């Protein structure tokens, strides 16, 4: 199975780094080999071209940017959604991973 790539985007790419670690742990415990990384919303376009993620998830604090970012992801044919605020706040990597997989139709 090809490795799936999940991109998380927030204001600076910093607050999502702990969530990335928790998602990696959840994926590994399920025997899944995913590349999961965080970036800033300003860097989304460059990362779409560089990494070609299978899905993009926005931090809830930048949900107001969804339409702008959706324009970029739609052009690339990549699904996009906003991370559930409770899961984000509680750093529930397993739940966010499930949401990403649903979008990727894994």
Positions marked catalytic: 10
The C-alpha atoms of residue 41 and residue 47 are separated, in whole angstroms, by: 10
Are 50 and 74 in contact by the 8 Å Cβ rule? The answer is no
Sign, Cα dihedral of 13, 21, 96, 2: positive
Rg (CA), the chain: 12
101 to each of 14, 68, 95, 96, how far by Cα in Å?
23, 23, 10, 9
């Amino acid at each position: 199975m090809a490795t799936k790539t999940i991109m998380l985007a927030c204001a600076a790419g910093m607050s999502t780094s702990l969530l990335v670690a928790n998602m990696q742990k959840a994926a590994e415990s399920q025997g899944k080999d995913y590349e999961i990384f965080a970036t800033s919303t300003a860097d989304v376009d460059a990362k779409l071209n560089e990494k070609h993620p299978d899905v993009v998830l926005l931090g809830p604090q930048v949900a107001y940017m969804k339409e702008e970012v959706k324009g970029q992801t739609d052009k690339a044919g990549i699904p996009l959604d906003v991370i559930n605020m409770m899961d984000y706040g509680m750093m529930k990597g397993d739940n966010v991973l499930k949401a990403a997989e649903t979008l990727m139709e894994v």
